Amino acid sequence: MSEKVLMKGNEAIAEAAILAGCRHYFGYPITPQTEIAAYMAKRMPKIGGTFLQAESEIAAINMVYGVSAAGKRVMTSSSSPGISLKGEGISYLAGADLPALVVNVQRGGPGLGGIQPSQSDYFQATRGGGHGDYHMIVLAPASVQEMAEFTVRGFELADQYRMTAMILADGTMGQMMEPVSLDLHVAPMPEKPWATTGTRMQRPHNIVNSLYLVPEVLERSNFERYERYRTVEENETMYESYRMEDAEICIAAFGIAARVSKNAINAARAEGIRVGMIRPQTLWPFPSAPFRAAADRVRCMISVELSMGQMIEDVRLAAECRVPVYLCNRVGGMIPEPEQILAAIREAAKTGGNKQ
């Protein structure tokens, strides 16, 4: 058992990124993720890395594009409005098949919204957010330990599949302090023969590009990308199953919503209600299989979210209409209380769903 240190979620992300070999960070200040930038500003100069406060989120993501094109591990972080600005760059990263890590510590929206926690960027994250056909690998940590581990994993997956990986956290996760082990295993970075590092007159020139004016060629590049996405779906889907063995009711929740839900589940169990939870750790690829399997065993599902109901669409798709899926939510920076979730569980136990 390695030694644990007490860290904020945002700091854990930053330190884990450094441990993963990331030496380039670009960002623009926005609440509630500024600890990441502050941490990088302190650490990077001491380890020969680059911290640069960009003039905008747009510039930051394009600096990421440049470092990634040059074959190095690189990251940026922001919060919801800033991620919208990065959407253009993320689409270009996808089009050029460049790896990168983007952290979104979500806050309430739309528009300027608020600065309190939210999960209302689920659609933006899991559907891509920018223009064109593409996906990001979306990792949803529910503890400071996972903030650290998923950061490392995000870099590894990004390099392996030449995709953007996103850590989709929220203000609570970012600010939360927990003991964390930083004894993290980091896979060696793969060779990047495609990188634009100068030919050294030893190879033909590399081109990093997302423009394909011949439609057949552009179609093929999309097909190839989606072949890769299928491999990601097959191999990299992650979820936690909590007290699902005998469950009649299945909670779907990620991040902070999953933490609160655990309390509600334990309270409901104490009342004799058989309820469990499937907690997606990857939101794309979405763990459809366990939800599909659960749909044959449970009476109903409850999607607990800090949004007006976004993940619920994926839960419903996975459940294939076999059971009703209810929404239990707060928005605008509010977090559901365990009592609200417990009430939703009780209601579902009394009246909800398919009769056994």
Partner 1 sequence: MIVFQKPKSLADVPLHYCPGCTHGIVHRLVAEVIDELGIEGRTIGIAPVGCSVMAYDYFNCDMIEAAHGRAPAVATGVKRADPEHHIVFTYQGDGDLASIGMAETVHAAARNENITVIFINNAIYGMTGGQMAPTSLPGQVTQTSPYGRDVKQCGYPVKVCEMLAELEGPEYLERVTVNSVKNVKNAKKAIKKAFQNQLDGKGFSLVEVLSSCPTNWGMTPQKALQWIDEKMIPYYPLGVYKDRSAGTEVSK
Q: How far is the CB of 23 from partner 1 (least distance, A)?
A: 9
Q: How far is the CB of 58 from partner 1 (least distance, A)?
A: 7
Beta bridge partners of 26: 52
Q: Pick from 275, 286, 283: which is nearest to 250 by CA?
A: 275
Is residue 284 within 8 A of residue 138, CB to CB? The reply is: yes
Of 195 and 317, which CB lies nearer to partner 1 in the complex structure? Answer: 195
Q: Per rule CB under 8 A, is residue 85 in the interface with partner 1?
A: no
Of 215 and 272, which CB lies nearer to partner 1 in the complex structure? Answer: 215
Other C-beta atoms within 10 Å of 321: how many?
A: 9
Position 101, amino acid: L
Q: Per rule CB under 8 A, is residue 45 in the interface with partner 1?
A: no
Task: Using CB under 8 A, pick the residue from 12, 36, 40, 64 that binds partner 1.
Answer: 64
Task: Using CB under 8 A, pick the residue from 5, 19, 41, 59 that binds partner 1.
Answer: 59
Q: Per rule CB under 8 A, is residue 96 in the interface with partner 1?
A: yes
Is residue 27 within 8 A of residue 54, CB to CB? The reply is: yes
Q: Per rule CB under 8 A, is residue 50 in the interface with partner 1?
A: yes
Q: Per rule CB under 8 A, is residue 331 in the interface with partner 1?
A: no
Stretch that binds partner 1, among 47-55, 108-116, 279-287, 296-304 (CB under 8 A): 47-55
Other C-beta atoms within 10 Å of 112: how many?
A: 10
Q: What are phi and psi of 164, to 5 degrees?
A: -80, 130
- The C-alpha atoms of residue 24 and residue 17 are separated, in whole angstroms, by 10
Task: Using CB under 8 A, pick the residue from 39, 92, 254, 326 that binds partner 1.
Answer: 92
Q: Measured in whole angstroms, how far is the alpha carbon of residue 31 from the centre of its chain?
A: 18
Of 197 and 231, which CB lies nearer to partner 1 in the complex structure? Answer: 197
DSSP result, 143-160:
SHHHHHHHHHHHHHHHHH
Q: Per rule CB under 8 A, is residue 206 in the interface with partner 1?
A: yes
- The C-alpha atoms of residue 282 and residue 356 are separated, in whole angstroms, by 31
Q: How far is the CB of 192 from partner 1 (least distance, A)?
A: 11
DSSP 29: -
Which structure tokens are listed for 348? 């579902």
- The C-alpha atoms of residue 158 and residue 73 are separated, in whole angstroms, by 9
Per-residue contact flags (x/-) with partner 1 for residues 209 to 238, judged by CB under 8 A: xxx---------------------------
Task: Using CB under 8 A, pick the residue from 207, 217, 289, 308 that binds partner 1.
Answer: 207
Q: Which residues contribute to the site for partner 1 (CB under 8 A)?
A: 24, 26, 50, 52, 54-56, 58-60, 62-72, 74, 88-89, 92, 96, 196-202, 205-211
